[in-house]
Chains A and B, each alone.
Chain A
Amino acid sequence: MNNLLLVEPDYILGNEYKTGLERAGWNVIIAKSAQSAITAADKVYPDIVILEIQLIEHSGIEFLYEFRSYPEWQQIPVIIQTQVPPSEFFESWDLLKNELGVVSYLYKPHVNLKKLISTANSYIAIKM
């Protein structure tokens, strides 16, 4: 099974995404904060990261800078799935894509589990 690190601060949503993604064959590790996400990534080498950027204390962007500073994590695809609308990303998208290796942006209110799963699957072939 491939490991998916889900950085999601909301307890209910975290559980629901985990349920859906596990049903699709992923091994899901949930982290609620930027700090716990770094710790989790260190313990379980993730094959992909799904990241909410609106977190408590340190934002998802701060997490990304820290995450990408480690050579072994520089090639791991990161999908941003957030409640922050696309209009607020317009100016920073180039930075996120080119410097921080974000492969996809998903706006949470418009993305169902099916779309989330197909996006994650498109970057990694699932090992069952």
Chain B
Amino acid sequence: MGRNIKDEGEFSILSQQLLLSIAEELKMPLIQIARLSENNRANELKNEITNTVIQETASSALRLIDNYILGVRLTLEPQNFEIEAVSVSSVLYDAGQQLEAIAKNYGVELELNIAGKFGPVSANKQGLQAALVSLGAALIEALPALDNCQLKLHLATHRSRYGVVAGVYADTKQISAQALKTGRKLQLSSRQPLMNLTHSSGAGVFIADAILKAMDLSLMASRHHSLYGIGTVLNPNHQLQLIP
């Protein structure tokens, strides 16, 4: 597992462009915390609610940094991250747990669609979960700013002819293969490469992209019933079927 860093070229998680986009992304939670604190001082009644929002805003910024660091480590030290038999349902469930508080902050409802038996897949559990959380957080922040979009994010899995798909989905066509393709191209030159999808730098999406690449997986646009989303295709692991 693990890709040769040289093969990653300028789109690597080690690239300056990704670092720039993370720096831009991190401005947002810091501005949010500053404004929340400012309002909090003026309105004592709101203190408890605001403190919770501040806490989760800080956590989401820290999670972004941690996911980036994990991507770097996966790229530089692939030998330390084993590919194992992983339950997609359990990874999505855990990702949902991590995203619950930030979703609440943004008024977005989370739904877990993991019904069905999918069997284990081959992946690094920590890496897969980090990629899904990173994607989920990016879409949670984007959904309220999209016109005509239901504020609901689905963490879902289904079987396709290529393997088991795990991803995040919403009812907006703005999440498309074209948006992703254009975003990857513009990542080198634009402060808002995923312009049709998010008002931010889209760092969460690109971190997920890099983490998945480091595991020899790829981030792609996907459909789940009538929903549009992004996720990855995982190979079923036939070596070990007995997992909790």
Task: Identify the A interface with B (CB < 8 A).
Answer: 9-13, 16-17, 19-20, 23, 32-33, 35-36, 52, 54-57, 59, 83-84, 88, 108-109, 112-114
Contacts and interface: CB of A to CB of B under 8 A. Distances in A.
Contacts of B78: none
17 contacts: A10-B28, A11-B144, A12-B106, A13-B28, A13-B35, A16-B36, A16-B39, A20-B39, A32-B144, A33-B145, A35-B147, A54-B200, A56-B142, A83-B24, A88-B191, A109-B30, A112-B35
A17 B38 CA distance: 10
B197 interface: yes
Sorted from nearest, which 7 A-B pairs have the closest CB atoms?
Answer: A9-B145, A9-B199, A11-B144, A16-B35, A32-B145, A12-B32, A11-B106
A26 to B, nearest CB: 14
B144 A83 contact: no
Nearest to A14: B144
A84 B191 contact: yes
A108 B199 CA distance: 14
Contacts of A88: 191
Band of interface residues on B? 20 to 34
Contacts of A19: 39, 43
A57 B36 CA distance: 27
A67 B107 CA distance: 29
Contacts, number: 86
A28 B199 CA distance: 21
Contacts of A35: 147
Contacts of B133: none
A56 B196 contact: yes
A114 B34 CA distance: 12
Interface in B51-78: 53, 57
Given A55-B199, A57-B196, A108-B31, A11 B36 contact: no
A23 B196 CA distance: 33
Interface centre among B27, B57, B141, B145 (most CB of A within 10 A): B145
A107 B147 CA distance: 25
Interface in B142-162: 142, 144-147
A79 to B, nearest CB: 16
A113 B39 contact: yes
A84 B39 CA distance: 23
B115 interface: no
A10 B141 contact: yes
B199 A56 contact: yes
A74 B177 CA distance: 39
Contacts of A32: 144-147
A13 B57 CA distance: 11
Nearest to B140: A11
Contacts of B35: 13, 16-17, 20, 112-113
B91 interface: no
B32 A16 contact: yes
A127 to B, nearest CB: 22
